Structure formats: C-alpha cells, structure tokens
Amino acid sequence: MTGLCARQAVNPMQSLPSAYRALVIGASGAIGGALVTSLRADPRCGSVLALGRASAPALDFESPASIAEAAQALSAQGPWHLVVVATGMLQGPTGSPEKRLSDVGAQHMAASFAVNTIGPALALAHLAPQLARDERSVFAVLSAKLGSIGDNRLGGWYSYRASKTALNMVIKTAAIEMARTHPRAVLAAMHPGTVDSRLSAPFRGAQIGRPAELAANDLLAVLDRLSPADSGGFWAYDGERLPW
C-alpha cells in the first residue's frame, strides 16, 4: 500500500467497529491531545481514554513499573480497538540532539531510548494482548522519518535517530508475533511530520510545523486505511511508506 491520501477529518476511523474503544498514551502532548479531541468528535467512537503522567491510572515511560500497573488497571475496560502511543523526546535535562559524533553522551542516549523505545515497547508488550481478537484493531506509535536509515542524508541527532530506528524494529518484530494471535490487528510506526508543539518548537517547529489538529486527522486517516497485510510498516502522515 503506497501513496495514500490522508486528508479526511470526518469520522476518522470508519474501519473500526461501531462504538470502538480507543486509548491514547501521551495525551498531554500536542499530537496526543489533538488525537483525543478528534476521536471524541467521532460519533462512531464509543470511548476514548487519555493516559499520561497525571492521568488515572498514571503512565510514565520513565517509570517502567507504571506501565505494567496501568495496563493491569485498564484490562477490565478493554478490549481495545485503537491504541496510539503519542510520545517522544528530543531534548531534556540530559542534553539536546547531537550535531556531531563528539557530542554523543551515555546519559542523553539512555534517556532517549527510555522514552522513545523502551517505554513504547513496554506499552506494546502489556497492552497488545488487550487488543480485540475477533475484530479489527490498530496499535500505532509515533516514530519519525529521522529514524529511517535509508533516508538519512544529513547525519546528526544520533540518540533520537537511533531510538526511533529501534522503535521501528520493535513494531516490525511485534507485528510478526501478533499476526499469530490477532490476525485482524495492524501495528504501525507513524511519522507525523513537523508539528507545532513543545517538542519541535526549539527546532523551528513553530515556523515550519503544521497544526497538531491537522496532523492528528492525517494520522488517523492513514491508520484507517491500513490492512493486516500492512502490519509492521513505517508510514508517513500523507500515506507514503517510508524506507527502513
């Protein structure tokens, strides 16, 4: 599946069952919040649960135990038809994206992997079994085009690139396993593009980014069109299949 058009904003998830149940992790972020708003506006959506550090249950990718605890607390509310992990880290107390190899440091790389790879992987491990088995379901994570090895022409940003590349591999590998137990499920790594948000603002995101609402609708429209045969793929917000 290539070259999908992803510009629909009405009833964004028509491929899911009526009264489908959705879960958004990272709902306090710009894209996560926009996803929650869009899904709640969908008359076919039965419920939307927004998770984050301040939610109940709380879920914090820097606290692995909270992921397992949140999944256990949510188990009675499933099965889930749509789970989106809308989180990401570019910079923080440990540093900023590295411009050159000499900038690479253990602390920042470890922090990047904790939020961008390990947290989403644990969320997938604990929540994928809660996806609907006999109905269509989708589990998506926000990756980044910078995580594409084949598309890397500029270099730099070592920790962010590597952590998103690793996340893509987690999705690809989990899709193979999930196909055996959830044959109608779709797992996808999604590139949202540059979006106006706290994450991208320090890097000219406010000047070149798109509104989070538009990005959310684009992402949902692409996810709506993916089939089980596409599971494990890496997709851009406009429907382009991205190279690994």
Q: What is the pLDDT of residue 6?
A: 38
- The values of phi and psi at residue 94, to 5°, are -85, -10
232, two tokens:
């494990």
Q: What is the pLDDT of residue 57?
A: 93
Identify the helix (H) or strand (E) that includes residue 49.
Answer: strand 45-51
The answer to pTM > 0.85 is yes
Q: What is the pLDDT of residue 3?
A: 41
C-alpha distances out from residue 235 to 3, 99, 106, 143, 239, Å: 10, 26, 30, 9, 6
Distance CA 28, CA 69 (A): 19
DSSP string across 106-144:
HHHHHHHHIIIIIHHHHHHHHHGGGB-SSS-EEEEEE--
Question: Mean pLDDT across the chain, nearest whole number?
Answer: 90
Distance CA 170, CA 178 (A): 12
77-105: per-residue pLDDT in tens? 989 999 999 999 888 899 989 999 999 99
- Report the share of the chain in percent with pLDDT over 90: 81
Q: What is the pLDDT of residue 42?
A: 94
Number of Cβ within 10 Å of residue 144's Cβ equals 25
CA neighbor of 198 nearest in space, from 24, 28, 23: 28
Distance CA 1, CA 239 (A): 8
194-218: per-residue pLDDT in tens? 887 565 555 554 555 788 899 999 9
The answer to whether residues 193 and 236 touch, using CB atoms and an 8 Å cutoff, is yes
**Confidence band of 8 (pLDDT split at 50, 70, 90):** very low
Residues in the chain: 244
Q: Domains plus CATH for the chain?
A: 20-236 (3.40.50.720)
- The values of phi and psi at residue 142, to 5°, are -80, 110
CA neighbor of 168 nearest in space, from 192, 194, 140: 140
Distance CA 144, CA 130 (A): 26
224, two tokens:
């709506």
- Report the share of the chain in percent with pLDDT over 70: 90
233, two tokens:
């793929």
Residue scoring higher pLDDT (120 or 5): 120
Least confident of 24-33, 88-97, 220-229: 88-97
How large is the average pLDDT for residues 126-147? Answer: 96
Q: What is the pLDDT of residue 210?
A: 82
Q: DSSP letter for 211, please.
A: P
Distance CA 15, CA 196 (A): 28
